[in-house]
């Protein structure tokens, strides 16, 4: 009788801290042994000469989510998670998005109803808070945190989503008291609105003017303000989809002062530029996201942030709206002004191959940084480690076998999402997942998707150690509990 369900023989195992040769033995969906010449497996695969990394954790993606404007993303929980698996990602953390007037508890139930029968990889949920009422902050949110929804996102822009500074402070205070982790979309709403009105009034309506409205100044100011609010309440915070060198400087400044401020960036800020928004006709709409891609010089600043550790997380921010679709990018027609175009770009499947090829392959980051940025750090920040995000005894057997020499020209025809385009069409990369295993079962192998709808499991998240406050309040007033106590 076989000792293991699966053995990967002669693997070059890469984690966020180590690189070594070993066999990987899997039993009952978990890694049960790492070593040389392990016993027999019911299934054995020789992966000599290939790198094996933990399954990716994409902790920022929008799947089967309706925008505040009522536009549904192209990918549902099957097509989105199928795409994830084929690109080496075995855990996704999309959003259960509250819109104003909605019970956040009911929102979570609705998203589970979508995900449970369809998800092909494992998943957790962040919450999106847009209506922090007394009921939500006092009852629903604390109860949901205890049930495993331990992270939530807030917005500083978009009319239907943004919170004002007072509301942000209220939310941060709940996070501090309950031990939850906060993500923030940091752009100055008034700057964007003021510029947008003037651009549109002057007839500057094409997709390229989206970048003119979402200037780096708006991102820099909001990033600094978000950091200041987090510092006041003494609560850690992740600034998501950071696009500009100016915002990077704000995060670096906070980190140098000892604040627990984390940073996330995405493929679009390494591989797209503002010139893509200026493509002929309406083509630039394919590349519209917020914040927008910046110039080529700014790309190097984002790479430097990845290498130096300013960024802890590399996520896709997959927000997929088809291009040639009246319910997608063309919802308001090809002559609509840029404010009418749904924001977002796809990237779930190509997230890891792009960073592997252009980061590891070209010496910008090392293999340990790649693993940390694509899997380990997100698992730690969101309370899923060490079940996810590493290769260790007892961890889920979520594994990616890399063909580091395979050259692929990215094309939408090769991808497995529900989109009709990829913004990375024609880009050549070196290195691609040869196989992806979810809890020891192959979900991508030999160029074929082998997973199934409904095989993904929901993952309640533990409270993250990263969410603990520093305990360095500068006043005697505790804003989290609204009581007076001794100074720390």
Under 8 Å between Cβ of 183 and 62: no
Structure tokens at 271: 């591989």
Peptide bond into 323 cis (omega under 30): no
Under 8 Å between Cβ of 341 and 438: no
- pTM, full prediction: 0.95
pLDDT at 487: 35
| Beta-carbon contacts of residue 222 (< 8 Å; ≥ 6 apart) | 156, 157, 186, 187, 188
User: What is the phi-psi region of residue 70: left when phi exceeds 0, alpha when psi lies from -120 to 50, beta otherwise?
Assistant: left
pLDDT at 67: 85
pLDDT tens for the chain, 488 residues long, are 899 999 999 999 999 999 999 999 999 999 999 999 999 999 999 999 999 999 999 999 999 998 878 889 999 999 999 999 999 999 999 999 999 999 999 999 999 999 999 999 999 999 999 999 999 999 999 999 999 999 999 999 999 999 999 999 999 999 999 999 999 999 999 999 999 999 999 999 999 999 999 999 999 999 999 999 999 999 999 999 999 999 999 999 999 999 999 999 999 999 999 999 999 999 999 999 999 999 999 999 999 999 999 999 999 999 999 999 999 999 988 888 999 999 999 999 999 999 999 999 999 999 999 999 999 999 999 999 999 999 999 999 999 999 999 999 999 999 999 999 999 999 999 999 999 999 999 999 999 999 999 999 999 999 988 888 887 654 445 555 554 343 33
User: What is the phi-psi region of residue 306: left when phi exceeds 0, alpha when psi lies from -120 to 50, beta otherwise?
Assistant: alpha
In this structure, are strands 30-35 and 19-27 parallel, antiparallel, or unpaired? Answer: antiparallel
What is the rounded CA–CA span in Å between residue 64 and residue 197?
A: 31
CATH number of 56-383: 3.20.20.140
Q: What angle do CA 409, 450, 453 make, to 5 degrees?
A: 110
- For 391-406, the DSSP string reads --TTSB--EEEEEEEE
What is the rounded CA–CA span in Å between residue 45 and residue 177?
A: 48
pLDDT at 468: 84
What is the rounded CA–CA span in Å between residue 214 and residue 83?
A: 30
User: Strands, DSSP E only, in 240-341?
Assistant: 261-265, 313-314, 318-319
> Where do the structural domains in the chain lie, given as residue ranges?
56-383
* DSSP letter assigned to residue 483: E
- Helix (H) or strand (E) run with residue 155 in it: strand 151-155
């Amino acid at each position: 009788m076989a000792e293991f369900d699966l053995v990967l023989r002669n693997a070059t195992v890469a984690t966020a801290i180590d690189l070594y040769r070993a066999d990987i033995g899997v039993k009952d969906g978990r890694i049960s042994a790492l070593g040389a010449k392990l016993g027999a497996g019911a299934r054995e695969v020789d992966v000599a000469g290939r790198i094996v990394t933990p399954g990716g954790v994409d902790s920022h993606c929008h799947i089967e989510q309706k925008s505040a404007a009522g536009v549904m993303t192209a990918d549902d929980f099957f097509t989105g998670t199928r795409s994830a698996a084929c690109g080496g990602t075995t855990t996704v953390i999309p959003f259960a998005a509250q819109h104003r007037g909605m019970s956040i508890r009911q929102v979570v139930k609705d998203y589970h109803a979508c995900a449970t029968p369809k998800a092909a990889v494992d998943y957790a949920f962040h919450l999106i808070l847009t209506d922090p009422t007394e009921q939500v902050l006092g009852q629903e949110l604390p109860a949901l945190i205890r049930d495993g929804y331990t992270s939530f996102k807030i917005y500083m822009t978009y009319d239907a989503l943004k919170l004002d500074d007072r509301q942000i402070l209220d939310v941060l205070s709940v996070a501090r008291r309950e031990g939850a982790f906060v993500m923030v979309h940091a752009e100055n709403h008034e700057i964007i609105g003021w510029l947008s009105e003037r651009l549109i009034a002057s007839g500057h309506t094409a997709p390229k003017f989206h970048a003119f409205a979402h200037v780096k100044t708006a991102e820099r100011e909001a990033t600094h303000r978000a950091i200041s609010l987090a510092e006041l309440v003494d609560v850690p915070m992740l600034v998501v989809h950071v696009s500009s060198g100016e915002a990077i400087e704000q995060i670096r400044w906070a980190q140098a002062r000892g604040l627990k401020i984390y940073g996330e960036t995405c493929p679009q800020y390494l591989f797209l530029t503002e010139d893509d928004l200026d493509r002929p006709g309406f083509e630039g709409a394919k590349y519209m996201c917020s914040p927008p891609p910046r110039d080529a010089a700014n790309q190097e600043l984002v790479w430097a942030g990845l290498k130096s550790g300013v960024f802890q997380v590399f996520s896709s921010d997959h927000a997929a709206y088809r291009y040639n679709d009246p319910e997608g990018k063309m919802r308001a027609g090809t002559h609509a002004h840029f404010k009418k175009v749904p924001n977002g770009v796809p990237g779930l499947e190509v997230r890891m191959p792009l960073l592997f090829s252009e980061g590891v392959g070209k010496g910008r980051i090392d293999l340990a940084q790649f693993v940390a940025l694509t899997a380990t750090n997100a698992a730690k920040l969101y309370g899923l480690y060490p079940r996810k995000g590493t290769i260790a005894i007892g961890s889920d057997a979520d594994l990616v076998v890399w063909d580091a020499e395979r050259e692929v020209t990215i094309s939408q025809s090769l991808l497995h999402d529900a989109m009709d385009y990829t913004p990375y069409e024609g880009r050549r990369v070196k290195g691609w997942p040869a196989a992806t295993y979810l809890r020891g079962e192959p979900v991508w192998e030999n160029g074929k998707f082998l997973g199934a709808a409904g095989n993904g499991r929901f993952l309640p998240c533990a409270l993250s150690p990263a969410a603990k406050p520093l305990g360095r309040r500068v006043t005697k007033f505790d804003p989290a509990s609204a009581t007076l106590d001794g100074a720390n």
